[in-house]
């Protein structure tokens, strides 16, 4: 049976500890907060759910217990509305929060298909890119410098748990392996996506929302690839990534 505790003050040491763990970002992040019953349920049903270890259930004062509280077997802390709002970084406090510890990023060889967001700053864009990659059979993601934190509460809410669907690694520099590395970029020397090699071990790079890879000195072995458009100069980063992931799956025999 879960153990319940009540917190009514921001000065409470345990509340301060929860807030400290939830607010750390990037490589300093060791925990994340899952805000709301839908997101918690999505995590429980995700194939990569083992990356998170549930530690503490946080319930809004007056809310009914959720069935997963008992199933997960963690402590339950009951918080007032203002405290729940502070932790969730939301205007309206959720009835349930789950504080979970993050396991270390995977090591070893990369998956056959990898999405590589590089400098994607908007949490919504990053979430959409991860969701598209997972939907079309990509097995992993590499996050480059400047990328939004996929486990921040706002990012998880915006992506509805896309970070649960793929193993994630962070890299400070590009280190191409023996796979096919393709950078989505419409600049000089770009190859149309229709002519790109999308078979075998594919790594698709998606650049910053503002400038992509324009002017970037990419390592040898990375081919710039363009998605032809009509009437507009460029596509949203998440849209471009979705098209490239779909085309990779279509030609490679994966999903769909």
As assigned by CATH, the class of the 113-252 domain is: alpha beta
Cβ–Cβ under 8 Å, residues 94 and 88: yes
Model confidence at 143, pLDDT cuts 50, 70, 90, reads very high
Average pLDDT over residues 145-158: 81
Residue 3, pLDDT score: 57
Residue 254 confidence (pLDDT) above 60: no
Using CA atoms, how far apart are residues 187 and 252, in angstroms rounded to an integer?
A: 26
Fold category of 4-102 in CATH = 60s Ribosomal Protein L30; Chain: A; (3.30.1330)
Model confidence at 160, pLDDT cuts 50, 70, 90, reads confident
Residue 1, pLDDT score: 44
Cβ–Cβ under 8 Å, residues 51 and 167: yes
Which whole-number Å values give the CA distances from 254 to 55, 134, 159, 248, in the listed order?
36, 11, 23, 8
Residue-wise pLDDT for 41-69, tens only, equals 988 887 766 678 999 999 999 999 999 99
Q: What 3-state DSSP class applies to 247?
A: helix
Residue 24, pLDDT score: 83
Cβ–Cβ under 8 Å, residues 80 and 4: no
Residue 179, pLDDT score: 92
Residue 57, pLDDT score: 96
What is the pTM for the complete model shown? 0.83
- DSSP secondary structure letter of residue 114: E
Residue-wise pLDDT for 220-248, tens only, equals 889 999 998 887 777 889 999 999 999 99
Residue 256, pLDDT score: 45
Average pLDDT over residues 159-176: 84
50 Cβ contact list (under 8 Å, min separation 6): 103
Cβ–Cβ under 8 Å, residues 202 and 250: no
Residue-wise pLDDT for 194-213, tens only, equals 999 998 899 999 998 877 77
11-48 burial, b at 16+ Cβ within 10 Å, e below that, comes to ebeebeebeebbeeeeeebebbbbbbbebbbbbbebeb
Structural domain spans, the chain: 4-102, 113-252
Instruction: Let me know if the fold of 4-102 is the same as that of 113-252.
Output: no
Residue-wise pLDDT for 86-101, tens only, equals 988 877 899 999 999 9
| Average pLDDT across the chain, whole number | 87
Residue 84, pLDDT score: 94
Least confident of 26-30, 95-99, 145-149: 26-30
Residue 165, pLDDT score: 79
Using CA atoms, how far apart are residues 66 and 130, in angstroms rounded to an integer?
A: 28
Largest CA distance in the chain: 63
Residue 156, pLDDT score: 78
233 Cβ contact list (under 8 Å, min separation 6): none
């Amino acid at each position: 049976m879960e153990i319940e505790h009540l917190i009514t003050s921001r000065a409470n040491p345990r509340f301060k500890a929860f807030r400290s763990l939830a607010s750390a970002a990037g490589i300093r992040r060791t925990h994340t907060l899952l805000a709301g019953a839908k997101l918690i349920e999505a995590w429980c049903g995700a194939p990569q759910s083992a990356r998170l270890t549930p530690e503490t259930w946080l319930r809004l004062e007056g809310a009914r217990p959720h069935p997963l509280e008992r199933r997960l077997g963690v402590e339950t802390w009951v918080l007032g509305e203002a405290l729940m709002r502070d932790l969730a970084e939301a205007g309206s406090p959720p009835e349930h929060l789950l504080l979970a510890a993050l396991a270390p990023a995977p090591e070893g060889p990369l998956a056959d298909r990898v999405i590589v967001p590089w400098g994607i700053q908007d949490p919504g864009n990053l979430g959409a890119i991860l969701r598209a990659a997972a939907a079309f059979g990509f097995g992993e993601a590499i996050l480059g410098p400047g990328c939004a934190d996929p486990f921040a509460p706002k990012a998880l809410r915006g992506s509805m748990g896309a970070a649960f669907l793929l193993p994630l690694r962070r890299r400070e520099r590009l280190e191409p392996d023996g796979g096919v590395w393709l950078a989505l970029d419409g600049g000089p020397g770009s190859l149309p996506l229709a002519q790109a090699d999308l078979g075998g071990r594919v790594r698709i790079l998606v650049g910053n929302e503002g400038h992509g890879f324009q002017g970037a000195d990419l390592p040898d072995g990375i081919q710039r690839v363009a998605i032809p458009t009509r009437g507009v100069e460029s596509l949203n980063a998440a849209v471009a990534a979705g098209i490239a992931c779909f085309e990779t799956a279509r030609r490679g025999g994966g999903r769909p």
